[in-house]
Each structure stands twice: as structure tokens, then as C-alpha cells.
A and B are shown apart, each in its own frame.
Chain A
Amino acid sequence: MNSLRKQLDKLRPHFSEGGRFQKLHSVFEGFETFLFVPDKVTFKGSHIRDNMDLKRTMTVVIIALVPAILFGCYNTGLQHFRSTGTDASVLQLFWYGFLRFLPLIIVSYITGLGIEFAAAQIRGHEINEGFLVTGILIPLIMPIDVPLWMLALATAFSVILGKEVFGGTGMNIFNPALLARAFIFFSYPAWMTGDKVWTKGLVSGANVIDGYSGATPLGLCAQGHTADLPSFMEMFIGTIPGSVGETSVPAILIGALILIVTGIGSWKIMLSMFGGGLTMALLLNALGTNEFMQLPFYYHFVMGGFAFGAVFMATDPVTASQTEKGKWIYGFMAGILSILFRVLNPAYPEGVMLAILLMNLFAPLIDYFVIQSNIKRRIRRLQAVNQ
């Protein structure tokens, strides 16, 4: 570690003002703070800088995502070998899935970080780490079979038009990872819906055994085949077709625990989103005009991306509501809308993505009203004291 520090210190003069690589200053800065906790202190006013900077925050989120990533690799292999009807050991399954998942991660990071670096150089900003998490979230919410150029295009779209035009990390209105998914969802719907894309090798259709459809539970429900659903336990554990990281609820719950304990993800948003989903599901149960609406309410939490969305997407500190009261409303509405879109709109079997994006749009408005009501309450209190 010490020698690394010395190397960096030796390189620093080249990158500071007047040095040879002055223009690449922010690149150097980016790598340095990636390796070492920044030792910067504030020089005016009484502000305290926490060691827990953006980079550390992002690292914790990535650690929280590890269980979902590992299970995603395993499940990718599992679904593939199920579709071909061959037996394989757990390690083989995992390795197969890992090799298929790796290109997605690489493409997403190269595209996103490339644009992020370029934007930082053009604007003379420091490189910020917002993309570290987005870059891994994007492949986790993609079908494993998505063509890599589409993934690159979607990543570029979400980073440029979802983030950089608004002013970079921390300024975006929409969750960039969800935006990338929405882009593919609307641009190339064949690659984001249907039965084939969720299992590697199913599109080409080679060696697929009879009886394996590859349909996701939500796909089955939207087509009205609720009787063919996998068991609750299977959907809970996550050995079902779906986007890479979204299937396993236990893996996501481990991530949620890490986020809550470290205080990075808001438990209020997670809890209220589940509450909203529960409310809507019970309401639909009560109405119950078709099989999808009659589905037991707890099924909704283990199908599709509900758990993943509630834990990793809705809690994004930039795009969610900032006020504590606002977080309850924001999460609750996201939960309600997710189940509403999912059940009542057969064109969009997965409603979580659209529900969270829609609530992203409303988050500033919710905050505004929460703050206004607080101000009004205080004015009334003041008037009561004065009288």
C-alpha cells in the first residue's frame, strides 16, 4: 500500500497545474480517490467532510449487490441447462452463467465510464462515481440474451440523456439504470418481453427440449396461464426465468439488510413500497374479476422485479424523495402503481420499472408539498404562541 501511495505522489505533479498531463487532472483524481480515502479538508466555513464519500457509498451498494449477482450467474446457468435438459454440477452452472454475464458487465462499464470520463474532461469536472453502481445495475435488470450493441446503446442513452444533460451525477431526474431498461423496452420490445430472451440460447432454439417454455411468471400471468406458475417457494428462491439479478428474493434481502444497516438505502422507501404493493394486491384480490387479479397477494412480491426494484431502484438517493415524510408517500405510490400496471395492463407485464420512473418524476413535487406543509404547521404554532 505504501509503495502505491508513493507512486501516486510521484505522479501527482504531472497532473496538477502546469504539469504535462494537466488536462487529464480529473482522471488522476478519479483513480487516486478510488484507491485511497481522500484527505481533503474544507478551507472555509464550518463544514465537516465525512470519510464516507460518494465512492465509499457506491462501494457499499456494490457489496450489497454481490449476492444477487452471484445468484444471477447461477440461475443463468441453471435455466440454460434446464432448457437443454442436461445435468451439470453447481459449479458448472455458475461458471456457465458467469461467462455469459461477464460481457454484459464489461460492455455496460466501458460505455458508461467512457462517456462519463469524456464528459468530465470536457466540462473540467472531477470524475464522479455515480456510474459505478449504475454500471452493474444495468446488466442485472437485462435479459441475459440481450444483444451487446443494444446494451451499449441503451447505456449511452441513459448516461447522456438521463444524466449528463441534467448536469451529471446527483442532478438526474430519472434513475439511469431504469432508463436504460426502458430504452430497450420501447426501442426493441422483442428483446425485453416474451418468453425466449430470458434464457441463454433459447432464441436460436438449438438443443431445446420439449416442454421448456422459458416464460417468466409474469409472462404466464399476462397470458392467463396462472395454473402453470412455478411454486411459491421456487419463485422465492429465484430458480425461475427472469432478468439476471431480479429473480432471487433471499439474495435481494441480504442486500437490503446491508443497505439498511449501513444507512445507505432508506428502509422507509423499501417498507412503504412493499406496503403499497400489498394494498393494491389485496384490493385487486377483493375485486377479483380474472385469474391474475385473484392471485394471492404475496405472489406479487416474489414475481418479476418487485423486490429488486424496491430495494435497489426506488431507494436511489438522487431520484427518490428527500424528505422523510415524502419517502413514505413515494414508496407507497411506487408499490401501488407497480402492481396496478402489472395486473391491469397486459401490454406491460412488468410494471415496476415504469412505476418507479413515474414516481421519480413526482418525487420533487412530493418534497415540495411536504416542506410547504411543514412551514404552514410551524407558522400556525408560532401564531398560537403569540396569541
Chain B
Amino acid sequence: MTAITPRKRLDDQFDIPLPPFLRDVRVIAAIGQLIFLVLFTGLISYIVISVYNSLVAQNMTPQFAFMQQRAGFQISESPAWYTPDRTFQDAYIVGIINTLRVVIPGLFFATLIGVILGIALLSRNFMVRTTSASYVEVLRNTPLLVQLIFWYFVVMFSLPAQDITLPNESVFVLQLRMVAYPLLWIGLGVLAWQRKLPHHTLTGALLGFLLLEVTLRVIGFTPQNVITLGVVGAAIVALELTGRLPRWAQGYALGIGASLALQGAAALLVEGLVSAGVLSANAIVWDIFPGVIIARRGFGFPEIRLEDGLQIILPQKPRLQFTAGTVVTPEYMALLIGLVIYTSAFIGEIVRAGIQAVPYGQLEASRALGLSGWQMLRLVVLPQALRVILPPLSSQYLNLAKNSTLATAIAFADAYSVGQTIMNTSGQSVPGFIIILITYLTMSLIIATIMNIVNARFQLVTR
């Protein structure tokens, strides 16, 4: 023990004795930090200097001037202005544009699907809840790379690649088939509500929809197949109506049967119209991938060629004639769908947790005030859930942005993929990596900053 140092009056309020210099906790902390700083900067400088020296020794001095040299390579997906005669810098800008083309719509759709999913995960409807829970579990628990490759090689490559003639009437045929389902659901819903049908009927109708669409995809979309399944459906309906089904199957069977029978009837109607000469035979296009919007181009019987996988042809109508819209490559679609679907599963879980974090009393107060379910969700639950949702949501946004580099696996020319090509072509790997790192760091920091601002606006005022 050392002698007690004499007290020094520090200021008017405090009168604390000063310890010996090297035993002062503040001094010890400062020295510790200083030592760490020296070691850390020393280590980093050592690595940087040795990398630089070895590159100079190999006659590959790192510099950024090479970005102004001629690129000399094609980019599979680029704006019209880009040619191999452009510079590396231009090539890289094309890469950044492609990355943003994926990331910006990706964030939007992942959020949209994620929020719907989060609400569905808490649904009181067994079918909705179970389906969305399986969606989340399958997508969360398989690697993103595998999913991307699945979307690209399995889904995109199985799309119709042949020429399809789409005359005017085909739009009508497609709609007839797809409109039949919601009409059936509304009809059954009204009957179930009036207690004229068991409420399982509606669930059955949804099952019937899935069953029919999957079966047709397996056995082929021919009018004959649809009509055959329609006959089976009619038989199921007849069995239920004559009371020959066990109790557990009632309602479900009616819904499934009605779905099949209705589609069969629609097919029969179209076939009838064709044989009566009202529709031309080639008007019937059964297998159109959902999501493809098709419009006629020009007058008469124009043709739209569906090339390598998928084209989205947005209907535009300058005066009297339709023209075709944007063409989207399968690589782009696979990456966008893959990232959106994968990220939406995580966002769904975050939204679910956020909604569950809202105290039950808030729901009771809303109900007691007479708010409807939708008003309660929109005005009371989601605004409060949002402050719990936002911080983990930011991480998912950053994940989506960074995961877009997996584009390289399916040959989509994003910033990283183009950057890699630039490094291989120019041999400038260290500057190349620095540019790529700065690109993604900037993008992430922008997303994080925006999310922090949004987050700050949604915090509760408590004092």
C-alpha cells in the first residue's frame, strides 16, 4: 500500500483524491487503446505494403487508369449503347445498372410478398397458415445458391421455347379458364356463408384448383385431358350429392369435384365453339405460364415469338394497334425471382414476429371501438409492428443486395460478374476488388442510412 495522496480540490463540486498516474483507470484504458491502434495499423500497413511490393515486382503495379482502356468483351445483357469498344469503366457501369435492376425491384417485391406472408402466417384459416408456414420452412432451410440454380436451370429452361401463334381469340380462351376459378370460389363462398353447403367446400375448391393445375402440368394441357378430368369431377359431385361419401370427405369432395367439372365444362365449351367455327382451332393455347401477359401485335393474325424462355410483352396501345413491350432474359428473371422468394421467407417471419409483438390489449381496444379486422391491421397493428420489424428488415435488405452477387452462378452480368471479367481481362485484380468492395459498401450504406431514417421516424415517444 502506498501512502494516501493528499486530496486535491478538482472543482467546486468534486473532491476526489487522484490516484498515482499509472494506476488511474482512465490512463490504463487510454494506454490500452493506444497499444491496440499501433498494432492494428502496423499489421494493416504491413499487408498493404507487401502486396503492393509483390505486385510491383510482377510488373503489375496497382492503378486505376486501366479502367479507361478498351474493354473488348461482350456483355450478354446490356443497354444498346454498350459495345466491346467501350471502356472497362463503361462495362462496369453496365454491371452496376444490372445490379440495380435486380436489387430495387427485388427489395420492393420481397417486402410486398413478405408482408402478405407474415399476415398469412398468423391466419386463422388452417390452409392459409399451413401453406405459408411450409413456404417459409422450405425456402429458409435450403441454400440460396441451390434455389437460384433451380429457378434458372429447372424453371426457366422448362418454359415453352417453341414458336406459338397467338391469334386474337387466345386471350379470350385464357381468360375463360382463369376467370372460371374465382367465379366458382365466390359462388361457393356465398353458398357456404348461407349455410347451404358445408364450409369445407371452399377449401375443397382451392385443393381442386391446385390438384387440377398440377395434374395438367404432368399429363399435358390438352382439351381432352381437361374434359376427362371434368367428367371425373362431375362423378365426384354426383357421389357427394347422392350421399355415398364418408362424413370426413363431404364438402372437400364437392369443392374438388366442382373445380374439375367446371374446367371440363369450360374446355367442352371452347371445343364446341371451335367445331362450330366460332373460334379458329389454333386459338386454343392451354399452357401459358402464369404471369406472362400476352397481347396481340398489329392486326389480323399476327404472331408473337416466344424465344428462349420468357418474354413479358406488356400491352401498349398507340392508336389502333398493339405493340410488344419489354423483353426480359431468363437469367434476370431467375435471379430476381430467386432473391425475392428467398428473402420474402425471412421477411415473412420478421413481419409475423413484429405483429405478434403488439400487445393483445391493442387488438381488444380496437375491436371494442368497432374497427374492422382490416382497419385494425392497418391503423393499429402494422404501425406498431413496424418499429419491431424495421431493424431486422434492414438486415434482410442488406442481405438481398449482397446476395445479388450470386448472379455470377447463373451468368447474369451484375456488377460483381462484370468486375470479375474486368479483372480477368485486365489482370488488375487488386484495384478490381477494391472497386467491387466500394460499390457494394456504398450500396449497403445507402440502404442502411435510408432504413435508419425510416426507423427513427417510427419510434414511440415516451417522454
Asked if A and B bind, the verdict is no
Interfacial residues, chain A to chain B (CB-CB below 8 A): none
Interfacial residues, chain B to chain A (CB-CB below 8 A): none
